[in-house]
Protein backbone atom coordinates (compact mmCIF):
# COMPACT_ATOMS: atom_id res chain seq x y z
CA UNK A 1 0.00 0.00 0.00
CA UNK A 2 1.20 3.54 -0.69
CA UNK A 3 2.62 5.52 2.23
CA UNK A 4 2.62 9.33 2.30
CA UNK A 5 4.37 11.61 4.79
CA UNK A 6 3.89 15.34 5.25
CA UNK A 7 4.46 17.88 8.03
CA UNK A 8 3.14 21.25 9.17
CA UNK A 9 4.83 23.62 11.65
CA UNK A 10 3.05 26.53 13.34
CA UNK A 11 3.28 28.68 16.47
CA UNK A 12 0.84 28.91 19.38
CA UNK A 13 0.76 31.42 22.21
CA UNK A 14 0.79 28.88 25.07
CA UNK A 15 3.90 27.24 26.53
CA UNK A 16 4.71 23.64 25.50
CA UNK A 17 3.51 22.01 28.76
CA UNK A 18 0.07 23.66 28.43
CA UNK A 19 -0.25 22.53 24.80
CA UNK A 20 0.97 19.04 25.72
CA UNK A 21 -1.61 18.70 28.52
CA UNK A 22 -4.36 19.73 26.12
CA UNK A 23 -3.28 17.28 23.42
CA UNK A 24 -2.83 14.45 25.94
CA UNK A 25 -6.54 14.59 26.83
CA UNK A 26 -8.56 12.53 24.31
CA UNK A 27 -11.66 14.68 24.90
CA UNK A 28 -9.71 17.70 23.60
CA UNK A 29 -9.68 16.12 20.15
CA UNK A 30 -13.45 16.57 19.75
CA UNK A 31 -13.59 19.61 17.50
CA UNK A 32 -9.82 20.05 17.55
CA UNK A 33 -9.73 17.52 14.78
CA UNK A 34 -12.69 18.78 12.72
CA UNK A 35 -13.96 15.32 11.82
CA UNK A 36 -13.93 13.95 15.39
CA UNK A 37 -17.37 14.34 16.97
CA UNK A 38 -17.18 11.81 19.80
CA UNK A 39 -14.58 10.10 22.00
CA UNK A 40 -15.39 7.12 24.22
CA UNK A 41 -13.92 4.05 25.91
CA UNK A 42 -10.77 5.84 27.12
CA UNK A 43 -8.21 3.50 28.70
CA UNK A 44 -4.94 4.68 30.24
CA UNK A 45 -1.84 2.62 30.96
CA UNK A 46 1.05 4.84 31.97
CA UNK A 47 2.05 6.91 28.94
CA UNK A 48 -0.30 5.05 26.59
CA UNK A 49 -3.92 6.08 26.08
CA UNK A 50 -6.32 4.08 23.94
CA UNK A 51 -9.76 5.23 22.87
CA UNK A 52 -12.47 4.94 20.25
CA UNK A 53 -13.60 7.98 18.31
CA UNK A 54 -16.23 8.75 15.75
CA UNK A 55 -15.44 10.85 12.70
CA UNK A 56 -18.26 12.47 10.78
CA UNK A 57 -17.91 12.97 7.06
CA UNK A 58 -20.67 14.40 4.87
CA UNK A 59 -22.26 11.11 3.94
CA UNK A 60 -21.06 8.69 6.59
CA UNK A 61 -19.67 8.17 10.06
CA UNK A 62 -16.29 6.54 10.46
CA UNK A 63 -15.38 4.71 13.69
CA UNK A 64 -11.66 4.80 14.49
CA UNK A 65 -9.38 3.36 17.18
CA UNK A 66 -6.62 5.59 18.49
CA UNK A 67 -3.55 4.73 20.53
CA UNK A 68 -1.78 7.80 21.90
CA UNK A 69 1.74 7.50 23.24
CA UNK A 70 2.96 10.39 25.35
CA UNK A 71 6.63 11.35 25.36
CA UNK A 72 8.62 14.36 26.46
CA UNK A 73 6.74 17.19 24.73
CA UNK A 74 5.60 14.71 22.09
CA UNK A 75 2.22 13.10 21.39
CA UNK A 76 2.07 10.20 18.95
CA UNK A 77 -1.36 9.11 17.73
CA UNK A 78 -1.71 5.84 15.84
CA UNK A 79 -5.11 5.63 14.15
CA UNK A 80 -6.73 2.50 12.77
CA UNK A 81 -9.59 3.26 10.42
CA UNK A 82 -11.81 1.01 8.31
CA UNK A 83 -10.82 0.26 4.69
CA UNK A 84 -7.23 -0.59 5.74
CA UNK A 85 -6.33 3.07 6.38
CA UNK A 86 -3.61 3.69 8.97
CA UNK A 87 -2.47 7.10 10.10
CA UNK A 88 0.28 8.16 12.49
CA UNK A 89 0.42 11.76 13.70
CA UNK A 90 3.51 12.81 15.63
CA UNK A 91 3.19 16.18 17.36
CA UNK A 92 6.46 17.67 18.60
CA UNK A 93 6.41 20.74 20.83
CA UNK A 94 9.28 23.18 21.33
CA UNK A 95 9.55 26.39 23.34
CA UNK A 96 9.38 29.60 21.29
CA UNK A 97 9.58 32.68 23.49
CA UNK A 98 6.54 32.56 25.79
CA UNK A 99 4.73 30.20 23.40
CA UNK A 100 5.43 27.05 21.43
CA UNK A 101 6.34 25.83 18.00
CA UNK A 102 4.23 22.83 17.04
CA UNK A 103 5.27 20.40 14.32
CA UNK A 104 2.83 17.71 13.29
CA UNK A 105 4.18 15.01 11.00
CA UNK A 106 1.61 12.70 9.47
CA UNK A 107 2.29 9.32 7.92
CA UNK A 108 -0.70 7.79 6.19
CA UNK A 109 -1.03 4.36 4.59
CA UNK A 110 -4.04 3.72 2.42
CA UNK A 111 -5.17 1.51 -0.45
CA UNK A 112 -4.30 2.85 -3.89
CA UNK A 113 -7.94 3.43 -4.82
CA UNK A 114 -8.49 5.65 -1.76
CA UNK A 115 -5.07 7.30 -1.66
CA UNK A 116 -5.90 10.68 -3.21
CA UNK A 117 -9.05 11.11 -1.14
CA UNK A 118 -7.38 10.03 2.12
CA UNK A 119 -4.36 12.26 1.51
CA UNK A 120 -6.53 15.28 0.65
CA UNK A 121 -8.65 14.77 3.79
CA UNK A 122 -5.62 14.24 6.05
CA UNK A 123 -3.97 17.47 4.82
CA UNK A 124 -7.21 19.43 5.13
CA UNK A 125 -7.75 18.16 8.68
CA UNK A 126 -4.13 18.91 9.63
CA UNK A 127 -4.44 22.57 8.61
CA UNK A 128 -7.83 22.94 10.31
CA UNK A 129 -6.48 21.31 13.48
CA UNK A 130 -3.57 23.77 13.55
CA UNK A 131 -5.94 26.72 13.21
CA UNK A 132 -8.17 25.41 16.01
CA UNK A 133 -5.21 24.76 18.32
CA UNK A 134 -3.94 28.31 17.69
CA UNK A 135 -7.42 29.61 18.54
CA UNK A 136 -7.69 27.49 21.69
CA UNK A 137 -4.23 28.41 22.93
CA UNK A 138 -4.62 32.12 22.10
Q: Could you read off the pLDDT of 88-100 as tens digits, one per residue?
A: 999 999 999 999 9
Helix (H, G, I), strand (E, B) or coil at 132: helix
CATH number at residue 45: 3.30.530.20
Strands 3-12 and 36-45 come out as unpaired
pLDDT reported for residue 59: 87
- Residue 81: domain span: 3-137
pLDDT reported for residue 58: 84
Q: Is the Cβ–Cβ distance between 70 and 86 less than 8 Å?
A: no
Count of domains for the chain: 1
Q: How far is CA 98 from CA 37, 50, 71, 103, 135, in A?
A: 31, 31, 21, 17, 16
pLDDT reported for residue 33: 93
pLDDT reported for residue 78: 98
Q: Measured between alpha carbons, how far is 4 from 31 in angstroms, rounded to an integer?
A: 24
Q: Is the Cβ–Cβ distance between 115 and 3 less than 8 Å?
A: no
User: Mind listing the pLDDT tens digit of every residue in the chain (138 residues)?
Assistant: 899 999 999 999 999 999 999 999 999 999 999 999 999 999 999 999 999 999 998 888 999 999 999 999 999 999 999 999 999 999 999 999 999 999 999 999 999 999 999 999 999 999 999 999 999 999
Q: Measured between alpha carbons, how far is 85 from 79 in angstroms, rounded to an integer?
A: 8
**89 - beta bridge partners?**
77, 106
Amino acid sequence: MPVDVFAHTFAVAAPPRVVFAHLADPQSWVGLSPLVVKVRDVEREGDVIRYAALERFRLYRNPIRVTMTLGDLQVISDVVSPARIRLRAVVDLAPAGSGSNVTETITVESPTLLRRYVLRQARKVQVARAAELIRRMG
